Structures are given as structure tokens and as C-alpha cells.
């Protein structure tokens, strides 16, 4: 097994009376992609900020690369590529200058800076925007620039807080491709995301956080097998909610979600056929996914 490079034990943080991270334990191993999932306010960003030393913890152990995390420790910041949830670029400087500053901070030579910045601008699809002031970039462009900036010193570990939020589908795929390549080359990735597809594609292991507590952790496949049935049949009616009552006798675990009915079970094809025999209904049979796990564990949205 690969060595642990982030170690957290009974890690806790409160703001005033509110316990935001509630004595959590987790380990990230070298070379893996580890993901944090959880509803808004679950404590994901707070945990990321404690790891990079931007927010002090209240109690518990926290080590990065075998070293106790001390807030504002420049050594930790030097080891990591950091993509914070908020785009903390300098709005008055041009795209290239924002990267320059980081290159200097990490002590890269002028020649190396030029070379890496060219590559990173290309990766971020911003090659023709090098001289543009950041303040007039679109939101997605800024996001791509923040990700590019995190890679300038070729860190062995990158921490990304919602890297692809606000990106268009094409840009998101590009980032996924790039992150997968980084992982292949041995870089450890720690990310948070609200995109279940992103988590399923990139992450070897995931942790689901809710109200500062860990609900479960494991590989995407393990979490799906542990918490939900293998298939989901989504049924929706063109005539409205109440008519779904006619499906009260379907086998499996039923859930009503707005104007749809979800049937969770195994081998649901015959059930799909039965639904199709009735007019006025549409349905979709699909394998269960992380979103089903997320909704079941965090109890969000599926409650009426």
C-alpha cells in the first residue's frame, strides 16, 4: 500500500457555537485521487483550508507529508498546488502576470517560467489571452487560470476545491483529462466536487461529509454497492404527480421526487415493460450511481 501523505485524526473546527468539522478521521495515500462530497455547508472547504494551513484547526491531529500542519507554514504551501473555491487572482494584473507572480514565488528561473506559462496557457485554452487583465475574463476562464496557476511548480500533490464549478462541458472534460494525466504521472489529488460524474470518473476513494461528520468513505463502486440497489427506474407522468399512485404496487424501494417516481431494485426490466404498457408515462432504466448514494445518505431533495 502507498504511504499516507495526509493524515487526519479527530480533526475538528468550530466557528462560534457551530461545529463545522466534527472530529473526522481520514487518510490520503500517495498517488491516489481522493474526493470530498457533501451538501453546501458540510465542511469541505473548511477541511481543505485546514490542510493547506489557511485555517487553524481547533483540535485533533493533521499531518501533510509527515509534517504537523502549522497555519501559514510556507513549507506546506511550497509542496502543494492549491485551487481554492474562490478565484483569488489579482484582477488588475494580466493573465500572464498572474502566473509570473506564482512562478517567482516558487523560485523558477525566467526561462522556466516562460516555458511553463506558455504550456499552462495552452492547457487552460488562454494562449490568446495572456495580456488580458483578469478582471475582464469570463468566470470559466478565471477558473481555468486558477487551475493552471496551481500547476506552475509541478507539485506532487494538488488540492482542488470544486475545480470545475462554472466550467462549460467541454472545458470540464479538458480538466478531467488533465487531472487524470497528472494522477497517472504519480501526482496525488485531493478534490471536492458537487458533480457526481466527476467524482466517479476521477476519484479512487471518496468521503461523504454532512454537517461536519463523515457518513461513509470508500471507492465509488463500494459506496454504490453498500448504499443503493443496483438499478433505478425513473418514472414520470405527463399528467402530474397524483397519478403516480397507480404504481403503488411496484416491487422495489419506491421514492417520490417531485413529479417523478424512482424505483430502486434489481433486474427492473420487467417493471419497465409494465410501466410502458400504461399510456401517459415515460421512464428511464439506468444503473445506480453516486448521485443516488449522495441523495440517500444526505437525505437531501428526496424528502418532500
Ligand X SMILES: Nc1ncnc2c1ncn2[C@@H]1O[C@H](COP(=O)(O)OP(=O)(O)OP(=O)(O)O)[C@@H](O)[C@H]1O
Residue 155 binds which entry of ligand X, Mg ion, none, CB below 5-8 Å type-dependent: none
Per-residue x/- marks for Mg ion, 14-53, CB under 5 A? ------------------------------xx--------
Among 85, 119, 211, 243, contact with Mg ion (rule: CB under 5 A):
85
CA distance 206 to 36: 6
CA distance 167 to 197: 14
Minimum distance between the CB of residue 42 and ligand X, rounded to whole angstroms?
Answer: 4
Q: Are 263 and 232 in contact (CB under 8 A)?
A: yes
CA distance 123 to 132: 17
CA distance 205 to 202: 9
Among 34-42, 63-71, 114-122, 136-144, the segment contacting ligand X (CB under 6 A)? 34-42
193 lines the binding site for Mg ion (CB under 5 A) = no
In the structure grid, which three cell numbers stand for residue 225, read together?
454497492
Query: How far is CA 224 from each of CA 210, 231, 235, 258, rounded to the nearest angstrom?
Result: 17, 10, 21, 23
45 lines the binding site for ligand X (CB under 6 A) = yes
Minimum distance between the CB of residue 194 and ligand X, rounded to whole angstroms?
Answer: 6
User: CB-wise, 85 or 260, nearer to Mg ion?
Assistant: 85
Binding residues for ligand X restricted to 83-142, rule: CB under 6 A: 85
Among 5, 42, 83, 89, contact with ligand X (rule: CB under 6 A):
42
In the structure grid, which three cell numbers stand for residue 110, read together?
525566467
Q: Judged by CB under 5 A, how many residues of this single chain contact Mg ion?
A: 3
Amino acid at each position: 500500500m502507498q504511504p499516507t501523505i495526509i493524515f487526519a485524526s479527530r480533526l475538528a473546527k468550530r466557528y462560534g457555537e457551530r461545529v463545522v468539522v466534527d472530529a473526522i478521521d481520514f487518510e490520503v495515500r500517495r498517488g491516489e485521487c481522493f474526493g470530498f462530497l457533501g451538501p453546501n455547508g458540510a465542511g469541505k472547504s473548511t477541511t481543505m483550508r485546514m490542510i493547506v494551513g489557511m485555517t487553524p484547526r481547533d483540535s485533533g491531529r493533521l499531518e501533510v507529508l509527515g509534517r504537523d500542519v502549522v497555519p501559514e507554514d510556507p513549507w506546506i504551501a511550497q509542496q502543494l498546488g492549491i485551487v481554492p473555491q474562490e478565484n483569488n487572482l489579482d484582477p488588475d494584473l494580466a493573465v500572464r502576470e498572474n502566473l509570473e507572480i506564482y512562478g517567482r514565488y516558487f523560485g523558477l528561473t525566467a526561462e522556466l517560467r516562460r516555458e511553463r506559462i506558455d504550456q499552462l496557457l495552452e492547457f487552460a485554452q488562454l494562449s490568446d489571452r495572456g495580456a488580458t487583465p483578469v478582471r475582464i475574463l469570463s468566470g470559466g476562464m478565471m477558473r481555468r487560470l486558477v487551475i493552471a496557476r496551481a500547476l506552475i511548480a509541478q507539485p506532487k500533490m494538488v488540492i482542488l476545491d470544486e475545480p470545475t464549478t462554472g466550467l462549460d462541458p467541454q472545458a470540464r472534460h479538458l480538466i478531467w483529462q488533465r487531472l487524470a494525466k497528472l494522477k497517472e504521472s504519480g501526482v496525488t489529488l485531493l478534490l471536492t466536487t458537487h458533480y457526481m460524474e466527476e467524482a466517479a470518473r476521477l476519484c479512487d476513494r471518496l468521503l461523504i461529509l454532512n454537517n461536519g461528520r463523515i457518513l461513509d468513505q470508500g471507492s465509488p463502486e463500494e459506496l454504490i454497492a453498500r448504499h443503493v440497489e443496483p438499478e433505478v427506474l425513473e418514472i414520470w407522468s405527463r399528467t402530474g404527480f397524483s397519478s403516480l399512485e397507480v404504481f403503488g404496487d411496484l416491487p422495489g424501494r419506491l421514492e417520490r421526487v417531485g413529479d417523478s417516481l424512482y424505483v430502486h431494485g434489481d433486474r427492473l426490466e420487467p417493471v419497465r415493460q409494465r410501466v410502458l404498457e400504461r399510456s401517459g408515462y415515460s421512464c428511464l432504466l439506468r444503473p445506480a450511481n453516486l448521485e443516488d448514494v449522495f441523495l440517500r445518505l444526505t437525505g437531501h431533495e428526496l424528502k418532500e
